[in-house]
């Protein structure tokens, strides 16, 4: 070999050794891709993702401690092997809501099998400026603000030890996922920040939320249509609007909601505790079944237990016809603490399709030191153990 060829062969060898070493170690540190504290990591993260996702061994992208800026991004699979993103630092979104190209989410992870998001890091949506522009609850003509996270079409995913802060809109949207776990997760925003729901779930099966703390200005956890097998365990909510199924029934093409267990949770100073809400006089006809709420502590919750089948905020509908959504197999067990209103439970079911198989067991809620009451309509619950003072208006 002449010298030139030898040098090329040597360079190739070095290249092979270093790239296989990198693949074997499986760690893709964004600092190796030009990501530095106080800098913008949009391009470094995009490049690291490209390499990690193409790795045939399990890979891990690391974002070290420090503060970074990140623009709107979608990190997409499928990848060739399990992939993890470990965030130790704080990642900040652009403050200006116009910098998201109309994207619904700041950070999207999509179409991945075996995905983990880990680390003690924080994703800061820097929502304060955007919240002043938010009037989407009152009017349909409004600018949609981006959520912090979109987890879309993921299988076998774990999100752990991550904090989502001050999202401009919902913190997390889970869509089309199978088997996704949130553990030791936090979503935080001021109690008066609009639409900053914690985790919203739709069209997903097997969603596990454990040891999680959600303190925001809107729903803690909400289940949209097509939510199945959702397990909420050891979760603290408040401030915010509580744990909610719905609203449902507004649209014809919705999928049923089936299988929710909320267990060992604390709702602290929330507007609602546990709630199922459906629209009256709308086309939706899905069923809502197997909803179980157990071992829940309410601390000064305005409306601890609610089924509202006449949900119609801002008079966006009429109540001429009852809701067509059938609710069945619902239990509320061992729910204790304080109610902010005299009515601890309001079960307002549809006169068209009354609720079926509803159980109230061991409900011990106090309003100003006296037992709270229950208001029932179109439902005949099975009552077990300690119970609220019943006040039925109509029964179905």
Ligand X SMILES: *[C@@H]1O[C@H](CO)[C@@H](O)[C@H](O)[C@H]1NC(C)=O
Number of neighbours of residue 58 by Cβ within 10 angstroms = 15
Residue with tokens 């991550």: 162
User: CB of 275: closest distance to ligand X in angstroms?
Assistant: 18
Q: Do 222 and 200 meet the contact criterion of CB atoms below 8 Å apart? A: yes
Nearer to ligand X, 117 or 260 (CB): 117
Q: How far is CA 136 from the centre of its chain?
A: 19
- DSSP three-state, residue 158: strand
| Pure H helices in the chain | 3-25, 42-54, 128-131
Q: How far is CA 216 from the centre of its chain?
A: 12
Q: Is 200 a catalytic residue?
A: no
> What is the biggest distance separating any 2 CA atoms in the chain, rounded to whole angstroms?
98
Nearer to ligand X, 39 or 371 (CB): 371
Instruction: Provide the b/e sequence for 222-237 (b: ≥16 CB within 10 Å).
Output: bbbbbbbbbebbbbbb
Residue with tokens 């966006």: 316
User: CB of 384: closest distance to ligand X in angstroms?
Assistant: 12
The tokens of 238 are what?
């408040």
User: CB of 367: closest distance to ligand X in angstroms?
Assistant: 10
| Residues, the chain | 396
User: CB of 333: closest distance to ligand X in angstroms?
Assistant: 8
Per CB under 6 A, residues contacting ligand X are 77-78, 111-114, 155-156, 158, 178-179, 264, 266, 268-269, 295-297, 299, 334, 336, 342, 373, 389, 391
User: CB of 110: closest distance to ligand X in angstroms?
Assistant: 8
Pairing, β 356-367 against β 373-377: unpaired
Nearer to ligand X, 107 or 215 (CB): 215
Angle at 288 between CA 282 and CA 290, to 5 degrees: 170
- Paired with 371 in beta bridges are 366
Measured CA to CA, the distance from residue 169 to residue 126 in angstroms comes to: 11
Pairing, β 113-118 against β 73-76: unpaired
Nearer to ligand X, 252 or 391 (CB): 391
Identified catalytic residue from 69, 200, 241, 292 = 241
Nearer to ligand X, 40 or 255 (CB): 255
Nearer to ligand X, 92 or 378 (CB): 378
Residue 200 makes CB contacts below 8 A (sequence gap 6+) with 170, 172, 173, 174, 219, 221, 222, 224
Nearer to ligand X, 22 or 76 (CB): 76
Nearer to ligand X, 111 or 396 (CB): 111
User: CB of 386: closest distance to ligand X in angstroms?
Assistant: 11
Measured CA to CA, the distance from residue 83 to residue 78 in angstroms comes to: 10
User: CB of 176: closest distance to ligand X in angstroms?
Assistant: 9
Distances (CA, A) of 239 to 117, 209, 270, 271: 26, 18, 5, 8
Q: What is the 3-state secondary structure (H, E, C) of 71-113?
A: CCEEEECCCCCCEEEEECCEEECCCCHHHHCCCCEEEEEECCE
User: CB of 203: closest distance to ligand X in angstroms?
Assistant: 12
Measured CA to CA, the distance from residue 307 to residue 247 in angstroms comes to: 11
Q: Which residues are known to be catalytic?
A: 241
């Amino acid at each position: 070999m002449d010298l030139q060829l030898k040098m090329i062969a040597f360079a190739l060898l070095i290249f092979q050794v270093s790239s296989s070493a990198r693949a074997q170690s499986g760690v893709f540190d964004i600092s190796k891709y030009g990501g530095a504290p106080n800098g913008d990591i949009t391009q470094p993260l995009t490049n690291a993702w490209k390499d990690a996702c193409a790795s045939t061994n399990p890979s891990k992208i690391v974002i070290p401690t420090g503060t970074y800026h990140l623009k709107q991004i979608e990190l997409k699979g499928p990848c060739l092997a399990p992939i993890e993103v470990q965030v130790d630092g704080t990642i900040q979104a652009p403050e200006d809501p116009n910098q998201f190209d109309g994207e619904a989410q700041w950070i999207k992870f999509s179409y991945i099998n075996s995905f983990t998001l880990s680390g003690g890091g924080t994703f800061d949506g820097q929502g304060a400026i955007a919240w002043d522009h938010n009037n989407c609850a009152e009017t349909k003509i409004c600018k949609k603000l981006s959520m912090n996270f979109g987890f879309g079409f993921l299988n076998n995913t774990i999100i752990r030890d991550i904090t989502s802060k001050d999202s401009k809109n919902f913190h997390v949207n889970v869509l089309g996922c199978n088997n996704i776990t949130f553990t030791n997760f936090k979503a935080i925003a001021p109690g008066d920040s609009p639409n900053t729901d914690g985790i919203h779930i739709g069209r997903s099966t097997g969603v596990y939320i454990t040891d999680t703390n959600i303190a925001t200005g809107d729903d803690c956890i909400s289940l949209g249509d097509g939510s199945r097998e959702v397990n909420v365990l050891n979760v603290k909510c408040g401030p915010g609007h509580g744990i909610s199924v719905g609203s449902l029934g507004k649209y014809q093409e919705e999928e049923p909601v089936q299988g929710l267990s909320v267990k060992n949770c604390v709702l602290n100073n929330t507007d609602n505790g546990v709630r199922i809400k459906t629209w009256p006089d709308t086309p939706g006809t899905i069923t809502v079944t197997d909803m179980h709420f157990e071992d829940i502590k309410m601390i000064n919750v305005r409306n601890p237990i609610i089924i509202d089948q006449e949900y119609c905020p801002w008079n966006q509908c009429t109540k001429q016809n009852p809701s067509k959504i059938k609710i069945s197999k619902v239990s509320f067990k061992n729910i204790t603490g304080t109610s902010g209103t005299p009515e601890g439970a309001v079960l307002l079911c549809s006169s068209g399709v009354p609720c079926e198989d509803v159980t109230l067991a061991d409900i011990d809620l106090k309003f100003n030191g006296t037992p709270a009451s229950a208001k029932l309509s179109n439902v005949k619950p099975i009552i077990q153990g300690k119970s609220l003072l019943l006040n039925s208006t109509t029964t179905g």
